[in-house]
């Protein structure tokens, strides 16, 4: 951790430790994960009661932005007011991105003596449904790979860029699932894949090539690397059914898109 981030965290704690409304203060983001650059901001969560959060929502005070806690150029602290009940909900049924927000989080203080235990529960990889998720990620990979070909046929740059990014996303979801690593949403997905011990040879380079130069060839190179690493049955009947359920009909029951779960 950079010294100026450590100073900002100490100021952050001092700014809120005497506020009786605040139950706990948690630092997350790149600083707590060890991924920060010198100019990174300090992300934090202000944990309050459900009642206090409801009041702050009515007052439109759920976000906190402070430049007075940092002493480096362009620095700021960026916070979210988070109800304690939300942490319980994440522990019980949170999506992988919701859980990963607490990866390597640092609890600065906790008046409830419960937040640390909740974070431990939040960070447990959700094994239930794992095999089904893997099959559905594979289906998304294969259907979006087909869309890459359609985009090339039509000379459609938008469809090509979108399809290539989805191929990359579901390739990364498959690698992270194999490693039982929580998917951290788009910003840190590639970093998590890089740090994964079990992954296809050269997959990071292939993913970068795909996203920088989307084409049928670069998309197929990613798919081939995954299939060589972990042979998976290609069944377009199943792939199409999964895509229908997860991408075309998902609005019926309002679940998050398959890539965000």
Looking up residue 183, the CATH number of its domain turns out to be: 1.20.120
102 and 188 co-located in one domain: no
Into how many domains does the chain fold?
A: 2
Residue 238 belongs to what domain range? 130-260
pLDDT at position 255, please? 80
Angle value at C-alpha 3, between 107 and 16, nearest 5 degrees: 40
Q: Residue 261 pLDDT more than 90?
A: no
pLDDT at position 222, please? 98
231 and 114 co-located in one domain: no
What are the phi and psi torsion angles at 27 (to 5°)?
-100, 130
93 and 211 co-located in one domain: no
pLDDT at position 173, please? 98
29 and 53 co-located in one domain: yes
Site of tokens 């994960």? 33
Whole-Å CA distances, 178 to 58, 137, 158, 246: 42, 11, 31, 20
Look at residues 122, 156, 173 and tell me which one is the last residue of a structural domain: 122
142 and 191 co-located in one domain: yes
* pLDDT class of 256 with cuts at 50, 70, 90: confident
Look at residues 122, 143, 165 and tell me which one is the last residue of a structural domain: 122
181 and 99 co-located in one domain: no
232 and 114 co-located in one domain: no
Strands of the 63-66 sheet, one edge to the other: 63-66, 77-83, 42-48, 22-28, 106-110
pLDDT at position 171, please? 98
What's the whole-number mean pLDDT along residues 4-9? 97
Q: Residue 150 pLDDT more than 90?
A: yes
* pLDDT class of 254 with cuts at 50, 70, 90: confident
Whether this prediction's pTM lies above 0.85 is answered by: yes
Site of tokens 């991408």? 247
What's the whole-number mean pLDDT along residues 190-197? 97
52 and 144 co-located in one domain: no
Q: Residue 260 pLDDT more than 90?
A: no
């Amino acid at each position: 951790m950079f010294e100026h981030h450590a100073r900002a965290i100490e100021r952050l704690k001092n700014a809120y430790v005497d506020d009786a409304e605040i139950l706990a203060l948690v630092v997350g983001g790149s600083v707590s994960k060890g991924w920060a650059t010198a100019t990174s901001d300090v992300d934090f969560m202000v944990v309050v009661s459900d009642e206090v959060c409801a009041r702050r929502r009515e007052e439109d005070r759920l976000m906190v932005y402070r430049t007075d806690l940092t002493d480096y150029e362009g620095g700021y602290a960026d916070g979210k007011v988070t109800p304690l009940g939300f942490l319980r909900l994440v522990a019980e049924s949170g999506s992988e991105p919701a859980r990963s927000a607490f990866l390597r989080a640092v609890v600065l203080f906790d008046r409830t003596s419960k937040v640390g235990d909740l974070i431990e529960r939040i960070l447990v990889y959700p094994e239930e449904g794992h095999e089904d998720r893997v099959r559905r990620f594979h289906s998304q990979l294969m259907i979006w790979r087909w869309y890459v070909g359609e985009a090339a046929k039509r000379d459609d740059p938008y469809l090509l860029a979108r399809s290539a990014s989805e191929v990359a996303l579901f390739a990364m979801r498959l690698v992270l699932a194999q490693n039982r690593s929580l998917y951290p949403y788009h910003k840190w997905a590639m970093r998590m894949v890089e740090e994964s011990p079990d992954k296809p040879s050269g997959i990071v380079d292939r993913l970068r090539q795909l996203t920088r130069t989307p084409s049928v060839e670069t998309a197929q190179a990613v798919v081939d690397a995954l299939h060589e690493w972990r042979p998976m049955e290609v069944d377009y009947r199943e792939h199409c059914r999964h895509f229908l359920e997860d991408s075309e009909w998902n609005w019926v029951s309002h679940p998050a898109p398959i890539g965000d779960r």
